[in-house]
Structure 1
Amino acid sequence: MPNKLGFRRPVRLNGFTLIELVIGMMVIGIGIVMLTSMLFPQADRAAATLQRVRSAELAHSVMNEIWGKRYDQNTNANGGSPACNAATGLSCSATSVLGPDGESRDTFNDVDDYHGLSESSSMLDSSQTYAQAYPGFNVSVNVSYLDTTTQAEKLITVDVTTPSNEVITYQALRSNY
């Protein structure tokens, strides 16, 4: 459209130039790379952290239960009796074989009864197994004497395997006092 002087005004088209489109795609590409390399892996780390927390819950519940039991079948449940070991001359009930002394899971009464406990074992006073309560997790309990000659300390090892196959080991030492 001509103005008063007769010059034509250039017509301005709305849109993007090729250079603007290329720069825009580069900015979007850099943003996507940053998201995939920094932000998205955080979700995997968060899941691993959650699995470790659940692993600690499982191991802690098993350890607390074991810790509340007496040292040995022949040790007085209320304490006060001499410790059973080779030094005192009192024999422990399971010097060569650790594990349940014929009790059912709900009546475990000493530390070594838990030797061999696994995810297929039922939980205390429950019909539910550890595998049902903690799906995807495996648990294994091993009880051994720290020194087989004195038998004054038992090493309790709880291995928990997370769903991502990470094995986390928890240990406690129970003395015969």
Structure 2
Amino acid sequence: MDKPTIAPVKTAFAPIIDQQCKILLLGTMPGDRSLSLQQYYGHSGNHFWKLIYALFDQPVDPDYQARKNFLLQRGIGLWDVLESCTCEGSLDSNIKNEVVNDFAAFYEQYPAITEVFFDSRKAEQFYNRYVKKSSDKNYHLLPSPSGANATKTFAQKLEHWKELLPYTK
């Protein structure tokens, strides 16, 4: 008799954030490729970094540290809704046993954040399930940057992601 497979426990990265960030971009949980590289949005098919750099008419820097600095210089923080979960593969639809990050402590530590952007409907759903929305923040839903999100072209995604621009430095 075959043993049932047990999905691995995945743990999210620390946030990319500083005290000047007004924007918080939230995903759900890094995918397998991102976890193996130890980089947010590490899968080459994900459009996240291409979208961020396209917002500012810049070419994507190949250096991960430079990309993190690029976000911070524009007042953009990056984190995930979930601290950990079990998940077979990288699809958000496979997430189980989720544990949410401590947003009360996070927002206390970073009071300048006024704009919260979800980079997928699933990230927004987990947030709504586990975190109380605050009246001192504005919440926005963006189309997923995942290459698997074929419902919108890159250009269409970029049009939606331009919603970030009024809040950047």
TM-score, normalisation: structure 2: 0.26
TM-score, normalisation: structure 1: 0.25
Between 1 and 2, higher relative CO (CA 8 Å, sep ≥ 6) is seen in: 2
Bigger radius of gyration = 1
